């Protein structure tokens, strides 16, 4: 007989871990370009920027959806959306890419 604990679904990731996983997913985007205010940045530079925005948001951002909405969607200075030019040449908004990544993370657990 298998104990019930072993049959249980894995526990969901805490929100801070989800946010860090989203930032790491940006950093790991090989061949991609992150576009912020019309300037191109490497995935690592983008991840560093997102971590800084998350840190500066403090207690206002408690969940991964709040992180996407308040820190990772666009520039707080210009209001322009962040974009990601993927390796295959497609350009998507960072918001859409991050929402897709968050859903993928949550369903794969």
Is residue 1 predicted with pLDDT exceeding 80? no
Domain of residue 41, residue span: 13-102
CA 101 to chain centre: 7
Mean of per-residue pLDDT scores for the chain = 91
Q: What is the pTM of this model?
A: 0.86
- pLDDT band of residue 8 (cuts 50, 70, 90) is low
Q: For the chain, how many structural domains are there in total? A: 1
- Strands of the chain (E only): list them: 33-36, 39-41, 83-85, 91-93
Confidence at residue 108, expressed as pLDDT on a 0 to 100 scale: 85
The answer to whether residue 7 sits within a structural domain is no
* Contact partners, residue 30, CB within 8 Å, separation at least 6: 43, 87
The answer to whether residue 47 sits within a structural domain is yes
The answer to whether residue 17 sits within a structural domain is yes
Q: Phi and psi (nearest 5°) for 20?
A: -65, -40
The answer to whether residue 65 sits within a structural domain is yes
The answer to whether residue 107 sits within a structural domain is no
CA 80 to chain centre: 17
- In tens, the pLDDT along 33-80 reads 999 999 999 999 999 999 999 999 999 999 999 999 999 999 988 999
């Amino acid at each position: 007989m298998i104990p019930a604990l072993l049959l249980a679904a894995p526990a969901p990731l805490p929100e801070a871990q989800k946010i860090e996983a989203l930032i790491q997913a940006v950093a790991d985007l090989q061949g991609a370009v992150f576009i912020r205010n019309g300037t191109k940045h490497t995935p690592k530079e983008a991840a560093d920027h997102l971590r800084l925005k998350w840190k500066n948001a403090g207690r206002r951002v408690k969940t991964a959806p709040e992180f996407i909405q308040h820190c990772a969607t666009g520039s707080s200075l210009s209001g322009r959306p962040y974009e990601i030019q993927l390796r295959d040449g497609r350009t998507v908004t960072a918001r859409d890419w991050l929402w897709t990544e968050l859903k993928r993370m949550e369903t794969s657990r």
